[in-house]
């Protein structure tokens, strides 16, 4: 990662468009889609037949819904080698003209990274505190500004 930052040449940067948003695109979503979403929300490995029988949903509908799911939802599996509770969650906000470079760089760290943008800011949710990396990015002017916050959150299934 240090080499990537040291060898970064802004003139050679080509955006890849890694982060895609679909805020202005309407989604066709009916009551059966909602039933399937709520059933599989926390576990896509659940058996298919119980939801099909209980709600009289056809196999054609179910398989079509599963195929379309990546168009409507973000699906990811987190990786935390020391278990999630061993890490402190941070939310980083950076301003950069090199969004895809930052996404690639943070993706090399040994836990799952989540990225999203709001306006012209890139947000990175990461379970690691990485001040040296951020300072180096700022010093090399790969990022224009940075901010961070340790996050505290609560989660309960089916609220």
- 94-142, pLDDT tens digit by residue? 999 999 999 999 999 988 889 999 989 999 999 888 999 999 999 999 9
Q: Where are the alpha helices (DSSP H) in the chain?
A: 2-6, 31-40, 49-55, 59-72, 99-106, 131-139
Residue 158 confidence (pLDDT)? 61
pTM of the model: 0.77
Give percent of the chain with pLDDT exceeding 70.
96
- 3-state SS of the chain: helix, strand, coil percent to 5? 35, 15, 45
Query: Coil, strand, or helix at residue 116?
Result: strand
The fold adopted by the segment(s) 79-150 is Alpha-Beta Plaits (3.30.70)
Angle between helices 31-40 and 59-72 (to 10 degrees): 70
The domain locations on the chain are 31-72, 79-150
Spatial CA neighbour of 19 closest among 143, 142, 93, 123: 123
């Amino acid at each position: 990662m240090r080499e990537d930052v040291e060898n970064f040449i802004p003139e050679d940067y080509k955006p890849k468009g890694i982060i895609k948003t679909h805020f202005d695109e309407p989604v066709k979503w009916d009551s059966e889609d909602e039933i399937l979403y709520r059933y599989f929300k926390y576990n896509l490995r659940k058996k298919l037949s119980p939801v099909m029988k209980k709600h009289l949903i056809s196999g054609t509908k179910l398989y079509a819904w599963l195929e379309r799911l990546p168009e409507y939802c973000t699906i990811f599996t987190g990786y935390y080698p020391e278990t999630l509770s061993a890490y402190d969650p941070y939310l980083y906000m950076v301003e950069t003209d090199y969004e895809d470079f930052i996404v690639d760089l943070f993706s090399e760290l040994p836990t799952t990274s989540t990225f999203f943008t709001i306006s012209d800011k890139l947000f990175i949710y990461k379970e690691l505190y990485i001040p040296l990396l951020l300072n180096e990015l700022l010093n090399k002017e790969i990022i224009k500004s940075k901010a961070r916050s340790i996050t505290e959150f609560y989660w309960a299934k089916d609220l």
